């Protein structure tokens, strides 16, 4: 079991759904919930990633990681997965909206398709999945929890990742709106802002070379480049009984990076200067 401050049985019998759960942080979240007793289903677009993730989790934890193919941009597939969860479990206790897309590019050079793709995955996808899962979440006997994964430029500027910034800002607002609308259904809705985790997608689309990694690293006051295990602990906390009085809020777990500098501004100027 990965190092954890929480009891192994903290989520015993709880039903958890994680989007974008086949790779990166999403898979790290899935592992953490499995190790703490939950039943977990993940969804992603690529079946090969899902089957690989399930085999990996079985090998590492001895538990079954359930999965379904789903594209958060396609509401029909979202509804199909929600129906599958209803038919299989009848309810949900936790939803983690983790599916995302991002890449570095100047706004003036961004195509309509590029803009729409990121908005559709991050903002629209979070709304689609949350809405489809709402009937399942409100059936949780002890109350349920949604955690939306955002970024530390959601409440400021997002130069050279303007599509992602606009989408994450929308998700933060949506988080607070749903927290109020769904409070009577005992559904808590919060956001988690992770630090820099060098997943494969981050390395490919955001950390353009070793100098970019060093730039980010030098501007993180505490903890440096982090890992999926530490970020999973933040999600576990937000979904735990200890956070039962927290809703409509965000947990910033970036080591204070947001207080220091806008790294994408520095990186973008270096890469896209005339």
Residues 211, 138 contacting (CB under 8 angstroms): no
C-alpha span between 105 and 206 (Å, rounded): 10
In the block, tokens 């209803």 appear at: 86
Residue 267 pLDDT: 72
List the beta bridge partners of residue 52. Answer: none
First to last CA, the chain: 50
> Residues 6 or more apart from 248 whose CB is under 8 A from it?
175, 176, 179, 180, 189, 190
Structurally, the chain folds into a number of domains equal to 1
| 4 class by beta-carbon count within 10 Å (0-12 exposed, 13-18 middle, 19+ buried) | middle
Q: What pLDDT was estimated at residue 77? A: 98
The parent domain of residue 174 ranges over 15-272
Please, are residues 159 and 264 in contact by the beta-carbon 8 Å criterion?
yes
Residue 211: how many CA atoms within 13 Å on its side-chain side?
A: 5
Rounded Cα distance, 87 and 106, in Å: 45
Has residue 136 been placed in a domain? Answer: yes
The vertex-26 CA angle with 212 and 9, nearest 5°, equals: 130
Active site residues per annotation:
153
Could you give the C-alpha distances from 138 to 13, 94, 141, in angstroms and in order?
Answer: 17, 11, 8
> Does residue 6 belong to any structural domain of this protein?
no
Q: Report residue 81 as tokens.
A: 């997965």
How is residue 264 written in tokens? Answer: 């994408």
- Please say whether the beta carbons of 73 and 125 come within 8 A: yes
- Residue 202: its pLDDT value, please? 60
In a domain, 8, yes or no: no
Written as six digits, the tokens of 87 are: 């038919």
157 within domain boundaries: yes
Q: Region of 3 please: left (phi>0), alpha (psi -120 to 50) or beta.
A: beta
Q: How many CB atoms lie within 10 A of CB 222?
A: 10
Residue 91, domain member (yes or no): yes
Domain with residue 240: its CATH number is 3.40.50.720
Tell me, what's the pLDDT at 126? 98
What was the pLDDT predicted at 226? 79
Other CB atoms within 10 A of residue 83 CB:
12
DSSP letter string, 135-164 = HHHTT-TT-EEEEEE--TTTTS--TT-HHH
Q: What is the dihedral of CA 162, 168, 172, 175, to 10 degrees?
A: 150
Do the domain assignments include residue 4? Answer: no
In the block, tokens 């994408």 appear at 264
Phi-psi region of 260 (alpha: psi -120 to 50; beta: other; left: phi over 0): alpha
Mean per-residue pLDDT pooled into runs of 10, the chain (274 residues): 87 98 95 98 97 97 97 98 98 97 92 97 98 98 97 93 97 98 98 85 61 74 84 97 97 91 73 65
């Amino acid at each position: 079991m990965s190092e954890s401050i929480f009891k192994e049985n903290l989520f015993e019998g709880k039903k958890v759904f994680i989007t974008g759960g086949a790779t990166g942080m999403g898979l790290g979240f899935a592992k953490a919930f499995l190790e703490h007793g939950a039943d977990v289903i993940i969804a992603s677009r690529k079946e090969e990633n899902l089957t690989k993730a399930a085999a990996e989790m079985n090998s590492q934890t001895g538990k079954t990681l359930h999965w379904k193919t789903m594209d958060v941009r396609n509401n029909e597939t979202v509804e199909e997965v929600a129906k599958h969860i209803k038919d299989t479990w009848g309810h949900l206790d936790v939803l983690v909206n983790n599916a995302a897309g991002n890449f570095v590019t100047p706004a003036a050079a961004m195509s309509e398709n590029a803009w729409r793709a990121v908005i559709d995955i991050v903002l629209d996808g979070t709304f689609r999945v949350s809405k489809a899962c709402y009937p399942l979440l409100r059936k949780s006997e002890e109350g349920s929890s949604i955690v939306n994964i955002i970024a530390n430029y959601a409440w400021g500027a997002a130069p050279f990742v303007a599509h992602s910034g606009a989408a994450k800002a929308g998700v933060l607002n949506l988080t607070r709106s749903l927290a109020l609308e769904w409070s009577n259904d005992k559904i808590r809705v919060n956001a988690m802002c992770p630090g820099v985790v060098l997943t494969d997608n981050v390395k490919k689309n955001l950390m353009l070379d070793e100098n970019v990694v060093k730039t980010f690293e030098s501007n993180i006051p505490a903890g440096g480049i982090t890992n999926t295990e530490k970020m999973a602990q933040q999600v576990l906390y937000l979904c735990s009984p200890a956070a039962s009085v927290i809703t409509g809020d965000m947990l910033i777990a970036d080591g204070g990076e947001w207080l220091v500098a806008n790294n994408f501004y520095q990186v973008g100027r270096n890469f896209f200067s005339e």
